Structure 1
Amino acid sequence: MKVYIFTGPTLHAEEGRAELDAVFLPPALQGDVYRAAREHPVAIGLIDGCFEGAPAVWHKEILWAMSEGIHVYGSASMGALRAAELAPFGMEGVGTIFESFQRGELEDDDEVTLSHAGEEDGFRPLSEAMVNLRATLANAERAGVVGSRVRDGLERLAKGMYYPERGYPALLARAAREGLPASELRALRAWLPEGQVNQKRADALAMLCRMREHLASRPGPKQVSYTFARTDAWEEARRRCEPLRLEAGAALPRDSLLEELRVSGRFPRARLGALARALALEESQRQGVEPDVATLQAACDGLRREHGLLEVEPFLRWLKQQRIEEPARFLREEAQVRWVETVLEPEMERCLPDHLRSTGEYGALLERTRRKAHALEKAGLERPGLAEAGLTEEALWRWYFTERLGGPVPAELDTYALRLGFTDVDTLRRAALREFCFLRLESEERPGSGRSSR
């Protein structure tokens, strides 16, 4: 059962793992919840999120995750803000801070904001969140350390400070300059090491506890009452967020893969293939296609045939080589793509000429097709056999694959034929024989070939 938690300065990952078995990730930026949801976890917990230097977590990526059946929880910091805003849609908020925002007692984002060190330093807090200052001062009043007037004054001063400057030493120094009673400030300073409250941490732990208890009951996929709207803005944001991965858990710098494809000359075709796959998946999702067991098996069998992976062990090695960490997801999407290919085959054929025109291939291809048909018809070789071509089966394949295509003869000719779109090896053989005969005829017609022509 996969669970992702976004945290940082509020709660160390080590503390969180003691409460919940989950994958702990750094504070979330815009797109991180979407990327996590793409891994199909049971639940996502949002504690910390960043907002400086990059856009904050988008409400719509949370709505999308929930519409995909993922339970999304929020608490303590950015998670409390988003949970209060999205509670009507089903996001599950936990903790005192969330409840204060939901009731409208707190409204400003800076209540949970603080500055912190980077990941290399464990996201160590460098300032104090306003919600923690409020909770600590309330605790000090209950303990009789300060009175209500001093507490109100300290809260007012803290709220007036820029969030990176908030902290107990700076607050007490400012309170002294403002003339708050020195005796109460001294008592508060002495009491703070033992009495201060980390409300954010307490709420984060409460959320992890709630998630553990809820998920232990095996609640099933999240059910939502809304229909997720796939707007143009959402599609553009989703496109920018799509991850590229090489190794498990390691994001691949996008430019590195693109450079390899471009320098090898494979980028244009890879780009068109990726675009076609994306559109096929989009169409299958739009039509609500959910492959059943038989369809998944057919997709798996087709993939194995096309790659010559009929034995189990080679297929498993292939999955590992291709870094397919989630075979179930990959095969589900493969089945959806193949379903769309079948349904849209007539539309594909209709669009094929214009696609070839856009790549500049259509004119030359059409001219060669007409020239081949005329030459073969004139020679009575529309359907040549091995005898007419003067070849053995072995010689034909050696010519076609080694001399014509510049590669070895495939071990599985049936597999190769299917991959190229032929119905079987017989149709591939016929096409190869037609190509051989056509090239021989053209060679004989060229000047200097030893034959005369008018």
Structure 2
Amino acid sequence: MKAIIFCGPSLVRVDTARFAAMEFRPPVRQGDLHAAAREGPGAIGVVDGYFDGQPAVLHKEILWAMTRGVAVFGASSMGALRAAELHSFGMRGVGRIFEAYRDGALTDDDEVALLHGPPETGYIPLSVPMVNIRATLEKAVAEGIIDPDTGARLTAEAKALFYQLRTWPDILGTLADGAQVRRLSDWLRTGKVDRKREDALDLLGEVDAFIRSGTRPDPPTFHFEWTENWHHAPWRNDAPTGTDAATDEDDAILDELRLSGDYVRLRDEALLRLLARSDERAAPERQAIRQATDAFRLQRGLVRQADVARWAQENGTDPAGLERMLADNARVATLARASEADLRRGILDRLRERDLYAICRDRAQARQRHARSPPPARPPDALLAAWHFENRLGRPVPEDLAEHAASLGLASVGKFFELVALDYTFQAAGAQENDTGAADKTSIA
């Protein structure tokens, strides 16, 4: 199962980098959570969200996601607000900010609001959220940096400011005592409390534990009312980012597959990828995804990013959809390696089903007989690699031959070259007639 997290200024890149298996998206806005739920993730986490100048995420989107079997978590900012409002329906709130809203200690939306920069700046905060100001001043009082009356006065002054104008210089500017200003200013360099970040990190931990557990949320106990406004929401039938929503053109293409006889095979291959998404053993490392991406681009000559974007457009998807597809490929490869021993019998059974077992057996026996002969001088590995991939398989030599050997279930790249060297001498000796034809017959494509 995958997890999708909507976040922005509450988390920095170093925070999210520790959770490589999660997909992080910009702050949520209306329609985004609905689109994410259509992708079938195991969990969605809401940390940050837009509300000023852009429509905020609807409560109904969250309720609909839960009816689809998606666990929805909220914390820190917009997520804490929505979780406090929907926790009785099953949304999972995390952290002290959520608890304060749930229990009525906080009631105003502006407590978590802040002004921040655009995505290219990493959503750099340009003001300080009130919940952080409260927590910081409480700590300053507890540590004796300021007295309780000063803490209460500064809290009131900050609350009176418009949320976009809440900055520490402006708050400190309300203090008349210069010594207090200097003492508090010096302390703030290391003493500030980022309550929103703390809660957001707690959410990531909760989501990670949930995904790792492999559990599914209980069915919701509420009835989802399909209202006219919901039915006519302009974004409800839009194609979600990174997915391929059904279109008339897609239906026509699937009909072509049905007529050509290829539908069942491709459906079964798609099923394999779908099952791999839900198997925790299939979670690919970043290296595996990078290798899958590099192999895909190399095979198609997609050197520049513009080439990748053009290919995606020509094939009815977008870069996010291509990334999802390659991640699925990496999941399948990862799961296959984890299950290598269990798959041996299954591979042989598939050969039997396709009436290819006897052909492969006869070829293997002929190769074994040839191997008993005194071996000729072995060509260099570079020549063997070029011969095997370019002449025999009709494809470029992979950049990482050790990775390729591992993908074939071989213990080392040395074992791979031993196998290729045997095949090279076998073919050179003419030990098998019409080998090209035999190879074609044993194709599983």
TM range (shorter): 0.5 to 0.7
| Change over 3 Å in CA distance of 1:28–1:313 after alignment to 2 | closer
5 Å-filtered alignment, 1:21-420, equals 21-173=21-173, 175-176=174-175, 179=176, 181-237=177-233, 239-244=234-239, 249=242, 304-309=257-262, 312=265
Distance in 2 (alpha carbons) for counterparts of 1:195 and 1:234: 46
The residue type paired with residue 211 of structure 1 is: V
Look up the SS of the partner of 1:24 in the other structure.
strand
The residue type paired with residue 143 of structure 2 is: A
Look up the SS of the partner of 2:102 in the other structure.
helix
1:71 touches 1:222 (CA, 8 Å); kept in 2? no
Look up the SS of the partner of 2:215 in the other structure.
coil
- Structure 1 runs, 4 residues or longer, greater than 3 Å off: 300-304, 310-317, 319-327
Q: CA deviation at 1:322?
A: 5.8
Cα offsets for 1:240-292 (capped at 9, x unmatched): 333337xx83899xxxxxxxxxxxxxxxxx99x59xx9xxxxxxxxxxxxxxx
Q: CA deviation at 1:22?
A: 0.4
The answer to which structure, 1 or 2, has the higher relative contact order (CA under 8 A, 6+ apart) is: 2
The residue type paired with residue 214 of structure 1 is: F
Distance in 2 (alpha carbons) for counterparts of 1:59 and 1:44: 14
Distance in 2 (alpha carbons) for counterparts of 1:184 and 1:35: 50
Q: CA deviation at 1:21?
A: 2.3
Distance in 1 (alpha carbons) for counterparts of 2:146 and 2:123: 32
Distance in 1 (alpha carbons) for counterparts of 2:143 and 2:269: 64
Distance in 2 (alpha carbons) for counterparts of 1:219 and 1:314: 26
Cα offsets for 1:27-80 (capped at 9, x unmatched): 000010000000000000000001122210100000000111100000000000
Q: CA deviation at 1:140?
A: 0.4
What TM-score, normalized by structure 2, do the two folds share? Answer: 0.57
Distance in 2 (alpha carbons) for counterparts of 1:171 and 1:48: 24
The residue type paired with residue 94 of structure 2 is: V
Cα offsets for 1:102-157 (capped at 9, x unmatched): 11010000000000000111111111000000000001011110111000000000
Look up the SS of the partner of 2:73 in the other structure.
strand
What TM-score, normalized by structure 1, do the two folds share? Answer: 0.56
Q: CA deviation at 1:184?
A: 2.5
Structure 2 residue runs without a partner (length 5+) = 274-311, 326-445
Look up the SS of the partner of 1:189 in the other structure.
helix
Distance in 2 (alpha carbons) for counterparts of 1:78 and 1:251: 28
Look up the SS of the partner of 1:49 in the other structure.
coil
| Change over 3 Å in CA distance of 1:25–1:310 after alignment to 2 | closer
Look up the SS of the partner of 2:193 in the other structure.
coil
Distance in 2 (alpha carbons) for counterparts of 1:220 and 1:313: 28
Look up the SS of the partner of 1:73 in the other structure.
strand
Partner of 1:385: none
Distance in 1 (alpha carbons) for counterparts of 2:267 and 2:210: 41
Look up the SS of the partner of 1:240 in the other structure.
coil
Q: CA deviation at 1:312?
A: 3.9
Q: CA deviation at 1:303?
A: 6.8
Number of equivalences:
277
Distance in 1 (alpha carbons) for counterparts of 2:239 and 2:75: 30
1:7 touches 1:13 (CA, 8 Å); kept in 2? no
Distance in 2 (alpha carbons) for counterparts of 1:45 and 1:311: 36
The residue type paired with residue 154 of structure 1 is: L
The residue type paired with residue 239 of structure 2 is: L
| Structure 1, 145-154 or 7-16: larger mean CA deviation | 7-16
Partner of 2:301: none
Please identify the structure whose Cα radius of gyration is greater. Answer: 1
1:116 touches 1:126 (CA, 8 Å); kept in 2? yes
User: Over aligned residues, Cα RMSD in angstroms?
Assistant: 3.2
| Structure 1, 195-204 or 219-228: larger mean CA deviation | 219-228
| Structure 1, 206-215 or 16-25: larger mean CA deviation | 16-25
